Amino acid sequence: MELVKKIGFVLLGLFIILNWGLIMSGIIRKIIARLGMRRGIKVFQPYINLIKNYSIRSQISHGVMFYLGPVFRLSGGIGIFLFMPLIHGSELWSNFSFTGDLILIAYFAFFGMLGMALGAGEGGHPYSAIGISRGLAQFTAIELPLTLAIISIAIQYNTLSISEIVAAQQGGIQNWTLVTNPFATVAAMISFLGAMGHSPFSVVMAPQEIPIGPPTEYHGTFLGILQTNRAILHVIEAVLYMNLFFGGATNWGILILKSFLVYFWSVFVGMVFPRFRVDQSIPWLLKLPVLIGIIAIALLII
Amino acid sequence: MTNLFSIEYITIFTSFALLVLGLWGIISQKNIFKIIISFSIVNTSIHLLLVSLAYIRNRTAPIIDSAVDRVNAAEKVVDPVPHALVLTAIVIGIGITALMLSYAFTMYKQHKTLDINQYKSLKW
Amino acid sequence: MSLSNKNEQEKNIRVTEDKFLAPENRKHTVIGPGGEEIFVDPLNDYFCTEKPKVEKPYKGILEKFYNWARAESLWVLGYGTGCGSIELPPLFSPRFDAYRFGVAMRPTPRQSGVFIISGYLAVKTLKRVIRSYEQMQNPKYVIALGSCTINGGMYWDSYNTINRLDHYIPVDVYIAGCMPRPEAILSGFNRLKEKIKEGRAEGANEYIEKLEWYKANQKKIIKDWNMPDYNW
Amino acid sequence: MVSPIYIIAILLGMAFMLGLLSKSGTRIAGILTSVSLALPVYISISWFIQILSGNADAITIFTAGSVPPFSINLVMGLEEAFFTSAINILGLLGFIYLSADLKKQGVRAMALYLVLIMGLNVVVMTRDIFNLFVFMEIVTIAVAGLIYLKNDNQSKEAGFKYLVAVGIISLFFLIGIGFFYFYGGTLNIDGFIAANSVVVKGATIAIFFIIISIILELKPFPANGWALDVYQAATPGVSALISSGTATASIFVLYKLLPLGSEIWLQILTVVGAVTFLGSNFLGISQKNTNRLLGYSSIGQVGLLMMVIGFMPQLGSAFKMIFFSVFISHFLAKAGLFWLSGIVKKESITDWGILRGSNIALFLFGIFLFALVGFPPFPSFYGKWQMVMELAGTGRFIWIVIILLGSFFEGLYLFRWLGYAIKGEKSNEEKLQIPWDKIVPPFIFGISLFIAAYYANSMSVYGNTINLIPLVFILLLFVIDFLPAYIKNTITIGAMVYYAVNLYPSISDDTLRVVFAAIFLIGGILTMIAGYSVKGKRKGFFPFAVMMYFGLIGLIEAENLFQFFFAWELMTLGSYILIIRGKFSMKHAFNYMLFSLGGAYLIFLGIAMSSFGNTSLDIGIIGLSTMPGWSYTLLAIGFLTKTAALGLHIWLPGAHAEAESDVSPMVSGILLKGGVFGLIVLFLAMGGEQAASHPLLYSLGWLGAITALGGNLLAVFQEDAKRLLAYSSVANLGYILFALAFMTNIGWLSALTYSINHFLFKTLLFLAIGGVVLRVKTHNMYEMGGLIKQMPWSFIAVLIGIITLAGIPPLSGYAGKWLFYNAVITKGWYFQGVLVFFAGTIAFLYCFKLIYSVFLGQPKDRFRKVKEAPIWYLIPQFILIIGIMIFSARPDLVLKPIGALLTQSSYFPSDSLSWENVTASTNLGYWSGYKIMLVIGVMFAVLLVWLMYMSRKTQKVKQFNIVYAGERPFTPETTHFSHNMFSHYYKALGFLSAPLATRFWNITNDITHRIADGSKRLYTGNGQTYLAVIMAYIIIIYLIMF
């Protein structure tokens, strides 16, 4: 019974996150449009796109891995969701976070990436592989500031459990990691830019050069799954950063607000800055952000 | 002690002189025959050395003949053992020299030269 | 397999093989790692030769719902085939803002639903258009832009362009003009939307049903037909 | 008992008899000579056996019917009997070997031969110094005559040089004799010793001349140019006699005469021997001429023997055993090698590939080389071990370094030579002609090596602790090498299973050992299963595979350092041969051997330093070392050569990549763990947790982190699939080293998890890729592509492998990563840790490249008909996959006992992992492998079912049905994006992959060879220069002494 209740809440949480993800991307698109003096899409356009993609009648498949790729991808997204505590202090909204800690989430992110890479690879399209090679290469550098930040906060809070990290930040903005460990926050937020795939780190999915990179052969239901995953992943990654650096959330309202703001940060930067090539972004990420991350650790161990 | 110019010293010095001369010849002469001759000189010098080491003043050669009788030979002759050694050494020296010469001969037949500098096909 | 009668097809293949087949498309043998000979027929081996099937629409309200979604989410293949494509970029500018109507550009035919044939179509381009059209997934819609796609326009007697687009691929909406302004194109999108919502935009199935006729027309124009009959 | 005088009588008599025989009687002469050579063998051996068993005493033979000093006396004691036996056996076999040449020259040559053997016998037996001189001269003349046997320009030249040089040397000897008699009044050695005339000033000069001449006869470096020329120019049969025969006699003369001199002579002899051993072997490294190379080696070995004699007082009671083992190795192996050289008839060692024409010759060649370098179980291994230990006991480390360095140089050129023999180019027209009379002598010597090995083993102090049964089993495998591979494979697997079953009870209380034993034995069995796919006989594979595995197991079983080192060397030897079996492995196997040899000697030195001041050799004494800094560092570097830490890694990629498909997993997944076990032994001996702040560990931690980064980065830029995996192994071993260096409970737990994981996935990956390579016959990934359709099972294996490698949950790789994070943060090595995690993400790049380039992307026309990898490759793969799955789902099954062991032992009592059912937690975080797997599994299944429902009507398309901007792809080759896949990464970080280590070692190698080559010019080839050097040598030794 306990388990059924748990699963029920997990599915409910997933439903909320998915919808919030879709709406959030609509809102963001709307904001971008307004910045460009346009009316822009309808806020619910992402829903329509999703339904349309699921309604495509014919599909082709390049092979078993092409088929499994989106499954891996969505598993990766939902998996991160499953291992993430959503609302502080709520046993029910903590999902399955009792099975693993921060490291589990950090490494489970690779699960979806790997699946996507394999599926796209099976497609046999060279552009997919080019996109993936860029994505993976850039990812190594993106991950480095985040690793430094994670270690820094692990030293700070002496735990790797996300729930405990959130608990330690309760009691006002002065207890947030943002305030107590600003360097780690900065390093991690730069890393977040890369993880979200907006400019300046969007060369992975260069739309015209390598027609949107890895998913270039995906369509219909496959694409629908990828879009679903994207909606979930964007929110849940934002929730991760929110939990680690911005005090977590004690109710859904705060979660939605904070995750929006965290995600908006990447959109904001994306609108302002042009695109890096991979061989430019990697050295850049390995210089300043890593330095900031090192300072974040060094300040704690001195 | 004894006079520096006494016979045993003279022979010893001579033998050393010959030794040095021979060794010098061995390392300075380029002609194989001259080297062999130098080798013989060294050989001889050592024979001389052995004999002179065996020398005891006022005694005669260790040959039992009319001059030396069998009974008191021990007081009259010099130490006979080195002489015996020298005899053997001479024989062996001749053997070695002969072998050297035959080698030199065949080498000459082949290359028509006796310059030791020309025989350097084996090196390093 | 047999789209036209068999003799003609064989003749066709022979002709194309003789004249137009690129070297890499000719039949040849390669040596495998174990020294075995492997026969390669590029056109048959590299491409799926299955015949496409008609995908029946759903019945009733589900189809209506789907059609609404399809109509409100028109993903256009970013492929400018003729001079009319100059009118497409302004569509997405603040002035016209086609995003309002759920229109967006996609770089790959796999993910797009709308193909805008923007003006005259050279024979060379027609081949690419056919490929791209066939690679789009059902349902798919075609908007023909400008007079050239209707009757050839100013190029009606050109040696190198086609006159009537709907002899080669089914067209849902024609937008007349030389060239049509972006406003006209927007209006065309709205017409297409209406058509979709009414369930009349079944060009994809029509193409498959009358595939033999379309193929015959296409092959009449395209002499160097060095691709499979249907590009999946 | 026949009086030994008959040896002389028979030989001399027959020599004269032969002179009487007419030239036409060569056949009869040959038989007569053989008989007359056989009789002395019988006489000397019977004396040896009788004296050894105590049935007879040493006897003295007085000639001329009177006692010394009035007559010459010959002694037949134990030593004399031994040496005459050796000489006579060599004489007989050498005659058999040379008989064809000798017959061509006629009976006089045979007479000469008899005289030579007779002379050598007398030189050994005589106690009269002048008699000694005479017979040495006789030997010289005989040898000079035999050199002439070859009758070409070079031999004439060499013979002349030999004659002049030895002539001069014996003249100095004669001077010595003159003074000897003058001051001692006797020519009898014993009499002189008894008279104790050393006190007389003049006697010193006599002894100086006598001993220096004997030393010069032994060809000390650098006054030995003449000897090298002779070795090179003489017919190999004669060179064998010179190298083994005259050198034997001379070394015994030295031994005999040494009591004349004072203690200082021992020191001089040590220095001379050391200079010779080191110098000669060093100059040998750039030598390519076969016989000259053997000459260098021969001189080096004699130098070592001189050192052994020089250290006589320090070695004490072990002297006999050491001398015996070093001497017998040199004696048998050098003669054998010269004889083989005569069979092969190739001047340059690069042409020795022809030796492969004969299995038996190759086998003999191998064992002679191994015996010379001192690999177990050959005698010189015991000898060198004992010698080094005795020297270490008195703190003479410089000398140990010299011995090891010399041995290293010797190993360098000998293994280069072996490489050419096993893998060198070989023209098909040439056939190796092996007449029976040429192969029997080396064969007998080869067998004798094993007998000598047995005796050396039983004489050795620790020898009786060695388990000889596996060695016997290995020999047995050689014997049954003619059987088909699958029978031998079954026997091997059976033996390993049997061994595993028997081994388990003895180590079951030590989980650490159980883990490694499981890696070695289960891994061994699994990789051997893959061997079933090999058709034919697979000659020479199984003995060495077994040797490697028993070496590895020996490491675990070792109770003392001797056993440990023995097993280490055995493992090295076996793996070397396995590696060199690959098609293009010659260079890589050579590199592997050099690093292994260097590493082994460092370990040896480390052990020696640890043993200083300790009485036992238990493994624990490492921790009691009186100079811990030195011994820890040396041992660590030694083990790191095997684990291929960055800088010492350059042998690994080639060796692993070019090895055969089923050997790669053996040497990668399994063999490398030998080094890890070594490190574990070392670190445990250092004291576990208490040593955690040791500076060595700190630097090893950094080294491990940099290795992880460098290895992964290099792997990214590889195009060769196996090389990629090999570099990945470098990196993974870096992780393990890093985690071990923590010296904390969790650190070790993560290191062990890594070890197990690395064994599982790397064996799996190498087997899978090996299976692919077997089918497509190329290593280049960009040539493959789309193989998933032909090889779905291999694809699954690689997929599981890379998921584990990358540490993605839910598979067990994540366990390692998680423990790692905890360990890093607990230990406080943040920056090293970050480096390692960075390396971990880089691993994704090559994981993707590997699986994509090989199995996904565009299939190539060439590989349309390739089949799935052989079933024998798939079986072990799927067993490993099951292993990975079990370890992923229930890591507690393995980690709990290990954790318990680490916690309970005195080494790592604090900060352990705590378990609550299946959830592990530290004071930082928690992780439940079982639940994670469950959650992800359920979710994945649900999504899969959903997608399958949603897209049930998909049309399967072919490889070119991709969108290509309205166009079509050109060819599969141009559409497969694989070559130089990470060019952008190279642009960004390629500078980090600069081959600095390779460059460093190349330069080192180059400089060493250049110096050796340059120093070699000392031997100008000019006989006169040689003489000048001899004289200079005498003067220098004189100046040193006085």
Nearest chain D Cα distance for residue C4, angstroms: 23
Extract the tokens encoding D461: 């102090």
Burial class (CB in 10 A: 0-12, 13-18, 19+), D61: middle
CB proximity under 8 Å: C 105-134 to D: 108-110, 127-129, 131-132
The residues near D145 (Cβ < 8 Å, ≥ 6 apart) are B99, D109, D112
Inspect the interface and report whether the beta carbons of D174 and B46 lie closer than 8 Å: yes
Inspect the interface and report whether the beta carbons of D924 and A159 lie closer than 8 Å: yes
pLDDT at A155 over 80: yes
Report the range of poorest mean pLDDT among D59-73, D485-499, D679-693.
Answer: D59-73
Inspect the interface and report whether the beta carbons of A67 and D803 lie closer than 8 Å: no
Q: Where residue D115 falls among pLDDT bands split at 50, 70, 90?
A: very high
Name the residue with higher pLDDT: D63 or D38: D38
Angstrom CA distances, D309 to D198, D277, D326, stand at 20, 13, 11
Q: What is the mean pLDDT of chain A?
A: 88
Determine the average pLDDT of the residues in C45-67: 87
Q: Answer for the pair D461, D504: CB distance below 8 angstroms, yes or no.
A: no
pLDDT value of position D884: 92
Inspect the interface and report whether the beta carbons of D864 and C38 lie closer than 8 Å: yes
Q: What is the mean pLDDT of chain D?
A: 88
pLDDT value of position C14: 53
pLDDT value of position C6: 59
Cα torsion for D904, D908, D909, D912, to the nearest 10°? Answer: -100
Report the range of poorest mean pLDDT among D4-8, D26-30, D295-299, D440-444.
Answer: D26-30
Q: CATH number, domain at B23? A: 1.10.287.3510
> In terms of domains, do C64 and C39 share one?
no
Q: CATH number, domain at C211? A: 3.40.50.12280
The rounded distance, in Å, linking the Cα atoms of D327 and D251 is 10
pLDDT value of position C9: 59
Question: Taking Cα atoms as reference points, which of A222, A51, A30, A59 lies closest to residue C72?
Answer: A51
Bridge partner list, D720: D780
pLDDT at D449 over 70: yes
Q: In terms of CA atoms, which chain D residue is nearest residue A96?
A: D935
Inspect the interface and report whether the beta carbons of C66 and A51 lie closer than 8 Å: yes
Extract the tokens encoding D181: 């008699």
Within 8 A of A220 by CB-CB distance, chain D residues are 951
pLDDT value of position A274: 86
Q: In terms of CA atoms, which chain C residue is nearest residue A212?
A: C107
The rounded distance, in Å, linking the Cα atoms of D246 and D77 is 19
Classify residue D154: in a domain, yes or no: no
pLDDT value of position C1: 43
Classify residue C50: in a domain, yes or no: no
pLDDT value of position D967: 84
What domain range includes position D78? 1-127
The rounded distance, in Å, linking the Cα atoms of D869 and D532 is 13
SS3 C76: strand
Which residues in D277-412 belong to E strands, given as ranges? none
Within 8 A of D792 by CB-CB distance, chain A residues are 64
Determine the average pLDDT of the residues in A69-75: 88
pLDDT value of position C10: 59
The rounded distance, in Å, linking the Cα atoms of D354 and A215 is 57
- Nearest 5°: the CA angle D600, D602, D605 is 110
**Tokens 């080759």 correspond to what residue?**
D973
Classify residue B2: in a domain, yes or no: no
Within 8 A of D175 by CB-CB distance, chain B residues are 46, 49
Q: Where residue C7 falls among pLDDT bands split at 50, 70, 90?
A: low
Inspect the interface and report whether the beta carbons of A71 and D944 lie closer than 8 Å: yes
Inspect the interface and report whether the beta carbons of D955 and C50 lie closer than 8 Å: yes
pLDDT at D409 over 90: yes
The rounded distance, in Å, linking the Cα atoms of D558 and D563 is 5
Contact of C135 with chain D, judged by CB distance below 8 Å, is answered with yes
- Helix D153-184 to helix B32-54 angle, to the nearest 10 degrees? 10
pLDDT in tens, D629-675: 888 899 999 999 988 888 888 888 888 888 888 888 888 888 999 99
- Nearest 5°: the CA angle B65, B69, B70 is 105
Q: Answer for the pair A151, A183: CB distance below 8 angstroms, yes or no.
A: no
Question: Which of A40, A216, A217 faces C99 most closely, judged by CB atoms?
Answer: A40
Which residues in D295-437 belong to E strands, given as ranges? none
pLDDT value of position D706: 92
How many percent of chain D have pLDDT more than 90?
Answer: 34
Contact of D970 with chain A, judged by CB distance below 8 Å, is answered with no
Question: Which of D808, D847, D989 faces A282 most closely, judged by CB atoms?
Answer: D989
The residues near A271 (Cβ < 8 Å, ≥ 6 apart) are A32, A35, A199
pLDDT value of position D199: 53
**Number of cross-chain residue pairs from B and D with Cβ atoms under 8 Å apart:** 115
Question: Which of A103, A113, A225 faces D925 most closely, judged by CB atoms?
Answer: A103
Within 8 A of A65 by CB-CB distance, chain D residues are 788, 856
Q: Answer for the pair D605, D561: CB distance below 8 angstroms, yes or no.
A: no
What domain range includes position B95? 7-57+73-118
pLDDT value of position C8: 62
pLDDT at D281 over 90: yes
Q: How many CA atoms lie less than 13 Å away from D776 in the CB half-sphere?
A: 29
Contact of C32 with chain D, judged by CB distance below 8 Å, is answered with yes
Q: In terms of CA atoms, which chain D residue is nearest residue A127?
A: D977
Q: How many CA atoms lie less than 13 Å away from D717 in the CB half-sphere?
A: 17
Classify residue C189: in a domain, yes or no: yes
The rounded distance, in Å, linking the Cα atoms of D815 and D918 is 13
Inspect the interface and report whether the beta carbons of C33 and D971 lie closer than 8 Å: no
Inspect the interface and report whether the beta carbons of A55 and C66 lie closer than 8 Å: yes
Angstrom CA distances, D979 to D724, D973, D974, stand at 13, 10, 10
Question: Which of D775, D865, D963 faces C38 most closely, judged by CB atoms?
Answer: D865
Nearest chain D Cα distance for residue C82, angstroms: 14
pLDDT in tens, D977-1003: 888 889 889 988 888 888 888 899 999
Counting the structural domains of chain B, the total is 1
The rounded distance, in Å, linking the Cα atoms of D197 and D817 is 77
> In terms of domains, do C64 and C38 share one?
no
Classify residue C53: in a domain, yes or no: no
Q: Answer for the pair D624, D698: CB distance below 8 angstroms, yes or no.
A: no
Give which of A56, A208, A226 to mutate to test C binding, by max C Cβ within 10 Å: A56
Question: Which of B30, B82, B120 faces D178 most closely, judged by CB atoms?
Answer: B82
- Helix D721-742 to helix D651-658 angle, to the nearest 10 degrees? 130
- Helix D651-658 to helix D586-611 angle, to the nearest 10 degrees? 130
pLDDT in tens, B82-118: 888 888 889 999 999 999 999 999 888 888 888 888 8
Q: Answer for the pair D738, D832: CB distance below 8 angstroms, yes or no.
A: yes
Classify residue C18: in a domain, yes or no: yes
Question: Taking Cα atoms as reference points, which of D119, D107, D123, D170 lies closest to residue D143?
Answer: D119
Angstrom CA distances, D319 to D80, D308, D311, D466, D469, stand at 16, 7, 8, 21, 28
Bridge partner list, D560: D618
What domain range includes position C174? 60-221
The residues near D128 (Cβ < 8 Å, ≥ 6 apart) are D68, D72, D73, D187, D188, D189
Q: Answer for the pair D778, D658: CB distance below 8 angstroms, yes or no.
A: no
Determine the average pLDDT of the residues in D68-72: 75
Classify residue C51: in a domain, yes or no: no
Neighbouring CB atoms inside 10 A of B115's CB total 10
SS3 B123: coil
> In terms of domains, do C17 and C97 share one?
no
pLDDT at C83 over 60: yes
Report the 3 state secondary structure along C8-53: HHHHHHHHHHHHCCCHHHCCEEEECCCCCEEEECHHHHCCCCCCCC
Inspect the interface and report whether the beta carbons of B122 and D179 lie closer than 8 Å: no
Of D94, D127, D160, the residue at which a domain comes to its end is D127
Inspect the interface and report whether the beta carbons of B53 and D134 lie closer than 8 Å: no
Nearest chain D Cα distance for residue C184, angstroms: 27
Classify residue B51: in a domain, yes or no: yes
> In terms of domains, do C28 and C77 share one?
no
Radius of gyration, alpha carbons of chain C: 20
DSSP state of A249: -
Classify residue B80: in a domain, yes or no: yes
The rounded distance, in Å, linking the Cα atoms of D790 and D786 is 8
Classify residue C52: in a domain, yes or no: no
Q: Do the strands D914-916 and D919-921 form a parallel or antiparallel pair, or are they unpaired?
A: antiparallel
> In terms of domains, do C34 and C106 share one?
no
Question: Within D743-791, where are the H helices?
Answer: 745-776
pLDDT at C4 over 80: no
> In terms of domains, do C96 and C192 share one?
yes
Q: List the chains bordering chain D where 3 or more Cβ pairs fall under 8 Å.
A: A, B, C
Classify residue D49: in a domain, yes or no: yes
Inspect the interface and report whether the beta carbons of D788 and A65 lie closer than 8 Å: yes
Determine the average pLDDT of the residues in D159-166: 90
Within 8 A of D181 by CB-CB distance, chain B residues are 53, 81-82, 85
Contact of C111 with chain A, judged by CB distance below 8 Å, is answered with yes
> In terms of domains, do C18 and C90 share one?
no
Question: Within A36-159, where are the H helices?
Answer: 45-55, 64-82, 102-122, 126-157
Q: How many CA atoms lie less than 13 Å away from D77 in the CB half-sphere?
A: 8
Inspect the interface and report whether the beta carbons of C36 and D775 lie closer than 8 Å: no
Of D106, D127, D148, the residue at which a domain comes to its end is D127
How many percent of chain C have pLDDT more than 90?
Answer: 21
Classify residue B33: in a domain, yes or no: yes
Q: In terms of CA atoms, which chain D residue is nearest residue B51?
A: D178
SS3 C103: strand
Q: Where residue A260 falls among pLDDT bands split at 50, 70, 90?
A: very high
pLDDT value of position A270: 86
The rounded distance, in Å, linking the Cα atoms of D567 and D557 is 9
Inspect the interface and report whether the beta carbons of C30 and D861 lie closer than 8 Å: yes
pLDDT in tens, B28-77: 888 999 999 999 999 999 998 888 888 877 777 777 777 777 777 777 78
How many percent of chain D have pLDDT more than 70?
Answer: 98
Question: Which of C38, C45, C232 faces D957 most closely, judged by CB atoms?
Answer: C232
Classify residue D442: in a domain, yes or no: no
pLDDT in tens, D770-809: 999 988 988 899 988 888 888 999 999 999 999 999 888 8
Whether there are 3 or more C-beta pairs closer than 8 Å between C and A is yes
Within 8 A of A286 by CB-CB distance, chain D residues are 989
> In terms of domains, do C141 and C107 share one?
yes
> In terms of domains, do C79 and C191 share one?
yes
Report the range of poorest mean pLDDT among A99-103, C28-32, D204-208, D461-465.
Answer: D461-465
**Number of cross-chain residue pairs from C and D with Cβ atoms under 8 Å apart:** 68
Question: Taking Cα atoms as reference points, which of D390, D548, D368, D367 lies closest to residue D460?
Answer: D390
Counting the structural domains of chain D, the total is 2
Q: Answer for the pair D947, A67: CB distance below 8 angstroms, yes or no.
A: yes
pLDDT value of position A275: 86
pLDDT in tens, C95-146: 998 898 889 888 888 889 899 998 888 888 898 999 999 989 888 999 998 8
- CA C83 from chain centre, in angstroms, equals 18
State residue C194 phi and psi, 5-degree precision. -60, -45
Whether there are 3 or more C-beta pairs closer than 8 Å between B and A is no
Determine the average pLDDT of the residues in A40-45: 89
Classify residue B108: in a domain, yes or no: yes
Of D127, D153, D172, the residue at which a domain comes to its end is D127
Inspect the interface and report whether the beta carbons of D985 and A278 lie closer than 8 Å: yes
B62-89 in b/e form (b: 16+ CB < 10 A) is beeeeebeeeeeeebbbbebbbebbeeb
**Tokens 């590889």 correspond to what residue?**
D718
Question: Taking Cα atoms as reference points, which of D545, D100, D94 lies closest to residue D338?
Answer: D94
pLDDT value of position C13: 54
pLDDT at D368 over 90: yes
Q: What is the pTM of this model?
A: 0.92
pLDDT at D575 over 50: yes
Q: How many CA atoms lie less than 13 Å away from D771 in the CB half-sphere?
A: 33
Q: Where residue C22 falls among pLDDT bands split at 50, 70, 90?
A: confident
Give which of C46, C47, C111 to mutate to test D binding, by max D Cβ within 10 Å: C46
The rounded distance, in Å, linking the Cα atoms of C215 and C225 is 11
Classify residue C27: in a domain, yes or no: yes
- Nearest 5°: the CA angle A268, A269, A275 is 130
pLDDT value of position D97: 92
Question: Taking Cα atoms as reference points, which of D632, D562, D643 lies closest to residue D596?
Answer: D643
pLDDT value of position C2: 44
- Helix A278-301 to helix A182-196 angle, to the nearest 10 degrees? 160
Within 8 A of D965 by CB-CB distance, chain A residues are 211
